Amino acid sequence: MKKYLFIFLALPTALFAQKKVPITKKKLVVAKTTSAKNNEAAKPADGFIIKGNIKGLADGTSVQMLNGSTGAAEQTVVSQKGKFSFTGKLSSPDFKLIGINGQPPFITIFADNSEINITAQKDALEAAEIKGSSSQEDFVAFTKVAKPYEELLAGKGRYDVKYMDEAASTLENFVSAHKASFIAPLAIFRSNQITGDYAKLEEMYNALAEPVKKTAMANFIAQQVEENKKAAYGQKVADFSQADTAGKEISLASFKGKYVLVDFWASWCGPCRAENPNVVNTYTKFKNKNFTVLGVSLDRTKQPWLDAITADGLEWTHVSDLQFWNNAIAKQFGIQSIPQNLLLDPDGKLVGKNLRGAALEYKLTKLLKDNVVKNGW
């Protein structure tokens, strides 16, 4: 199963994916529990204490602190007069999510080993005031610079190249100025959402201070770097073939000379269907500019696949062996979550990956512009 950091899914500007779920028995997460009388706990030596005061919270309400990397409940307390507290020790600053009954909306804290104070209203947790953590101050600083691009990072809307250049440059500048900040990996992740530039991703990761590279978020970025090396980013991908909707074998090689988006999806995948309008818009804009799409479906039965193609207006070539997660092409590229995509250049080289929303249009515009200059198109 592809490992995503929970925090990337919990924050508002995250992208969601349908994941392959292995048939295994889930482990029970046992949370630590304290009573209301322990809510005035003292800060442990070299550790943290998070003190909360949520107005309007009824006595005895369960409040949970979740691990920002896994989403697992770490501690559970009950409130008294709206107050509660959590204590612990961190090896490095990390995200913690505070939720009433462990449910969203969450109060997001970038915690370190200090005293952190939260003041909030029960019905406005997203507006919580958080003080005491220098790491939280870095998170607030990042949030401010990213705010103008919130919808872009959420994959909403369509934006011009100038705006997306500005967004990418802003985030890269933040990373450059905060190489020793534990929030920098999040800024790197967001920047890559826009550019899909894995050479730049590696460059920014390599520039991080060594203590930052040891964190869960930085490890996630490192995994992305290694995965894309394995995916032969910048190199020609191996050919494949599969049957189209009429049963005719279609090879990747038959698209040589065009930019091709190999789009992994399925009729049963909600996030895929939500992304399809973006792919349609991009296809419509670039189909006469040396670009096409090859849809690879992870469906199990033919009719729902065909119905989804018609319903979503997907006018490009589609293939599938109807083998669900065992689809041969998906296995060739190690696909374990969808939607995912690979962007290939006219020579069949991998030049982009997992480009969604406006990011795909941005990447194509850049590539086509470069080719106009290079080849005089």
Q: Give the model confidence (pLDDT) of 24-83 as tens digits.
A: 333 333 334 444 444 456 777 789 999 999 999 999 999 999 998 788 899 999 999 999
CATH of the domain at 263: 3.40.30.10
* Per-residue pLDDT at 155 exceeds 90: no
pLDDT single digits (tens) 4-27: 455 554 554 433 344 454 443 333
Tell me which of 126-130, 204-208, 354-358 is least confident: 354-358
Judgement on whether residues 120 and 52 belong to the same structural domain of the protein? yes
Q: Are residues 206 and 312 in the same domain?
A: no
Query: At 76, phi and psi to the nearest 5?
Result: -130, 130
Tell whether 149 is covered by a domain: yes
Q: CA 32 to CA 77: how far, in whole Å?
A: 8
The first and second tokens of residue 234, run together, are 């910048």
Residues 307, 348 contacting (CB under 8 angstroms) = no
Residue after which a domain boundary falls, among 109, 132, 155: 132
Residue 92 lies in a domain: yes
The verdict on residue 194 lying in a domain is yes
Q: For residue 355, is pLDDT > 80?
A: yes
Residue 236 located in a structural domain? no
Question: In this predicted structure, what is the pLDDT of residue 151?
Answer: 85
Let me know if residue 245 belongs to a domain.
yes
| 332 and 367 co-located in one domain | yes
Let me know if residue 184 belongs to a domain.
yes
Given the structure tokens 């520039």, which residue do they identify? 207
Residue 27 lies in a domain: no
Q: Do residues 76 and 115 both lie within one domain?
A: yes
Of 167, 197, 230, which residue sits at a domain end?
A: 230
Q: Output the CA angle 1-239-297, nearest 5 degrees.
A: 50
pLDDT by residue (tens digit) across 233-272? 788 999 999 999 999 999 999 999 999 999 999 999 999 9
Residues 92 and 151 in one domain: no
What pLDDT is attached to residue 109? 93
268 and 225 belong to one structural domain: no
pLDDT tens track for 295-348: 999 999 999 999 999 999 999 999 999 999 999 999 998 888 899 999 999 999
Domain assignment present for 30: no
Split at pLDDT 50, 70, 90, the class of 152 is confident
Q: Are residues 371 and 271 in the same domain?
A: yes
Q: What percent of the chain has pLDDT over 90?
A: 65
pTM: 0.70
**Is the same domain home to 350 and 269?**
yes
Same domain, 254 and 345: yes
Q: Which domain holds residue 121?
A: 6-21+35-132
Mean pLDDT over each residue of the chain, to the nearest integer: 86
Domain identity same for 45 and 116: yes
Predicted pLDDT of residue 35: 43
Give the count of domains, the chain: 3
Residues 200 and 124 in one domain: no
In whole angstroms, what is the distance from residue 140 CA to residue 183 CA?
A: 10
Query: Which of the listed residues 189, 206, 230 is the one where a domain comes to its end?
Result: 230
Is 159 in the same domain as 180? Answer: yes
